[in-house]
Amino acid sequence: MSPRRLSLTLGLATLTLAGVSAALPWTIGTEGAARLVGRELAAYGLSLHAEGPATLRLLPLPRLDFARTRIAEESAAAPLAEGGRLTIVLDPIGLMAGRIGIGSLTLDGTKLVLTDDARWAGPLRRLSEQVRAGWFVRPHRVVLKNAALAGPGHAEPEIRDLDLDLDWPAWGGSLDGRARFTWRGQRARANLTDLRPAALAEGTASPFAASLIWPGGSLSAEGDARLAAEPSRGLALEGTGKLETRSLPQTLAWIGRDAALAPLAETFALEGSFSAEGAAVMLPRLRVRLGQNVLDGAGQASLATPRAAVQATLAADSLNLAPLLGQLLRVLGLDGEERAAPALALHPFTGGDLDLRLSAAAARIGPVALEDMAASLLVRDGAVEIALNRAAVQGGTVKGRATLTSAGINGTETEVKAQGALDQVDLGGLLIDLGASRWVLGPSQGHFSFEGSGRDLADLAARTSGRAALTIDRGAIVGLDLADVIQRHGGVAAGALARRNGRTPFERASLSLRFADGVGEIAEGVLQASALSASLRGYVSLRDHSFRARAELHPRADSARPGPLFDLAGPWDAVTVRAARPGEAEPELPTSSAAPSAFHGVPGLILPGTARAYAP
């Protein structure tokens, strides 16, 4: 081999050995290396302590590795980050300038502590001061691997398996971040882009775009951010955002909060413009999707306390309340499923404050159509108030109000007060909507007022008191000719009921009831027709859904002559009629009704027998 070739070979071998040696880790003094790095961290008010060995690599970039590290605020003994492995890639520009500059910082297997004192405030303040001072040498990348995040006083981390990558290159002004983590058993990921820390430090606005995705939904926002007027409020944000979740109750449980009427909401989406500062959020333009319903309006929310407070005014062209009512029936155990009678407690529904104004050009509760509806809903701790301010139904109007208040020991009972009125409502059309037979016609008007309290629906029914009245003018009974019944001395022509070709026009029919302890007495039941009159006396039981009454017919031409008598008895959905003899004792409500009975999923207390039509 020629001397020249030998020299070239030895040179290449020497360079190779030098490269291999530079790429291998060299064990160095831990204390001395920590002091060198600590000078750079001191600029941010931080101190570094390491108990494990320290190593140095020169290639591909100079790098220091520390084991069993602890990073703390200089004036505090409690750590901000402890455990795991710290890797620092040294800044080549800083090395050429004769200083140990930190190019990037990686913490692997570290536990970070979010404190409620000022230990993080000092480092963040110093960082802000350096940013305002202009160009400065800073870590251009911070990485967390398999980290844990614990709040103040929490022995167990709230966030686990945290992988975070913050990229803030020296040649660019924007900071981008990506994170994956496990919070309360669910894996989630977050992204942040376009944030300009220098603008925030100078007190001007910075653009931002952020998103959070978890198995049950997603949250995204973009707009401008600036430092809040009060430092304790953090950032003030303004822009547009969108929230989507397949189950609002599950999402609220995941983030550890509650909201008013949360058990009734499932698929939920919210989007629009917003401005937020601290715990206050303003929503000047808002669109809400609840199931298939779309509502537009404005609102605001306060998250300052564990009870979220929400105010909103929403309107919809068309509103279908059937899914909401169906969910309420399931919660109350009235969906037909066999289960123990649930407690009638307000606590699950009053986890937050809500003040909602709601309007719709058209609305539907199952088969019942409403027009020009205006309603309000007020939820407070231990109280719910529902008001139907107006609604057009079958050519007339209805309105009503119900107030529910927690009562009893620990709120185990609910006190209910309800009142309402209807005017010029076509009762026949309403019966058809409800799936019942159209056996009466005419515009009706009436009112009701009830109050009661109970541990469950059966208990509430047994303790209900109040009044109800209904009047129909210039109407008709369809399917039965009462004048013919009088002529036949209480008999009905063969096949007349099946053919339903009879008809009894009347001038006025009125019915009033007085309720006490779940039993309603028919205080007045009168029908006035041109050829006859009729009266009704008896009782209605809310306890076991039974009806006992006697009807008496009188010919108008000879009112002194007694007319035929009929006894009506049975459950509400299967009342039987039989002819009664003069002098026979009038039926009374059976004594078994004196005790409340289990409802076994029967929705008759609140809804008619065709209640299944209300729920999807």
Confidence of residue 559 (pLDDT cuts 50, 70, 90): low
Q: Give the other-Cβ count within 10 Å of 15's Cβ.
A: 10
pLDDT at 118 over 50: yes
Position 606 scores a pLDDT of 36
DSSP string covering 324-337, please?
HHHHHHHHTT-SS-
What is the 3-class SS of 218-231, one letter each residue?
EEEEEEEEEECCCH
565, pLDDT greater than 80: yes
**Is the predicted pLDDT of residue 333 greater than 80, yes or no?**
no
Given this model, what pLDDT does residue 489 score?
66
If one counts every other C-beta atom within 10 angstroms of the C-beta of residue 265, the result is 20
Which residue has better confidence, 58 or 72? 72
Structure token digits, residue 56: 């140095």
* β partners of residue 371: 362, 392
Q: Strand pairing of 532-541 and 519-528?
A: antiparallel
- In this predicted model, which residue has the larger pLDDT, 342 or 502? 502
pLDDT digits (tens, 9 = 90+) for 3-48: 344 334 434 444 443 444 444 567 777 787 788 787 878 878 888 8
* Least-confidence region, from 61-75, 355-369, 379-393: 61-75
Task: Write the Ramachandran bin of 309: left for phi over 0, alpha for psi from -120 to 50, otherwise beta.
Answer: beta
Please give the sequence-ordered ranges of beta strands (E in DSSP) within 138-216, or none if there are none: 141-150, 159-167, 175-183, 186-195, 206-214
E strands in 408-456: 413-426, 440-441, 443-454
Judge whether 350 and 371 are in contact, CB under 8 Å. Answer: no
Work out whether the CA dihedral 439, 443, 448, 454 comes out positive or negative.
positive
Segment 224-252 shows an average pLDDT of: 89
Least confident stretch, 124-138, 288-302, 312-326, 424-438:
124-138
- Residue 208 contacts residue 193 (beta carbons within 8 Å): yes
As a whole number of angstroms, the distance between CA 281 and CA 260 comes to 17
Q: Cβ-count burial of 349 within 10 angstroms (0-12 exposed, 13-18 middle, 19+ buried)?
A: buried
Which has the closest alpha carbon to 371: 397, 347, 350? Answer: 397
Per-residue pLDDT at 194 exceeds 80: yes
60: preceding bond cis by omega (within 30 degrees): yes
Q: What is the mean pLDDT of residues 177-204?
A: 91
What's the rounded Cα separation, in Å, for the pair 473 and 504? 13
| Pairing state between β 353-365 and 309-320 | parallel
Name the pLDDT band for 2 (thresholds 50, 70, 90). very low
Residue type, 335: D
Describe the chain by its helix, strand, coil percentages, rounded to 5.
20, 50, 30
Give the tens place of pLDDT for each residue, 355-385: 999 999 999 887 889 999 999 999 999 899 9
Pairing of strands 69-73, 79-82: antiparallel
Residue 173 scores a pLDDT above 70: yes
404-419: average pLDDT: 88
Name 301's bridge partners. 281, 310
Beta 54-57 vs 440-441: how paired, if at all? unpaired
Q: Going by C-beta distance under 8 Å and a sequence separation of 6 or more, which residues neighbour residue 375?
A: 357, 358, 359, 386, 387, 388, 389, 391
The first and second tokens of residue 584, run together, are 């026979």
Q: Give the CA distances from residue 25 to residues 28, 49, 144, in Å, rounded to whole numbers and listed in that order.
A: 9, 20, 22
Question: What is the spatial distance between Cα 446 and Cα 120, in angstroms, rounded to a whole number?
Answer: 66
Q: Closest by alpha carbon to 527, among 445, 471, 456?
A: 471
pLDDT for position 19 = 44
Point out the least confidently predicted range of 109-123, 345-359, 403-417, 501-515: 109-123
CB atoms within 10 A of CB 276: 23
Q: What is the mean pLDDT of the chain?
A: 81
3-state secondary structure 230-265: CHHHCEEEEEEEEEEECCHHHHHHHHCCECECHHHC
Q: How large is the average pLDDT for residues 180-201?
A: 91
pLDDT of res. 420: 95
Lowest mean pLDDT of 144-158, 250-264, 297-311, 328-342, name the range.
328-342
pLDDT classification of 153: cutoffs 50, 70, 90: low
More reliable by pLDDT, 504 or 179: 179
Range among 128-137, 274-283, 433-442 with highest mean pLDDT value: 274-283
Rounded to 5 degrees, φ, ψ at 132 are -65, -25
* Angle (CA) 308 279 224, round 5°: 130
Q: Which residue has the higher pLDDT, 226 or 576?
A: 226
The residue extents of the domains of the chain are: 25-172, 457-598
DSSP letter, residue 547: E
| pLDDT tier at 172, thresholds 50, 70, 90 | low
Report whether 416 contacts 452 (CB < 8 A).
Answer: yes
Task: Tell me the C-alpha to C-alpha distance, in Å, between residue 529 and each of 423, 428, 481, 532, 534.
Answer: 22, 18, 11, 5, 8
Q: What pLDDT does 595 receive?
A: 38
Tell me: pLDDT of 607 over 80: no
Higher-pLDDT residue of 512, 305? 512
User: Which of 200, 175, 301, 156 is CA-nearest to residue 241?
Assistant: 301
Q: Give, rounded to a whole angstrom, the gap between the first and last alpha carbons of the chain.
A: 93
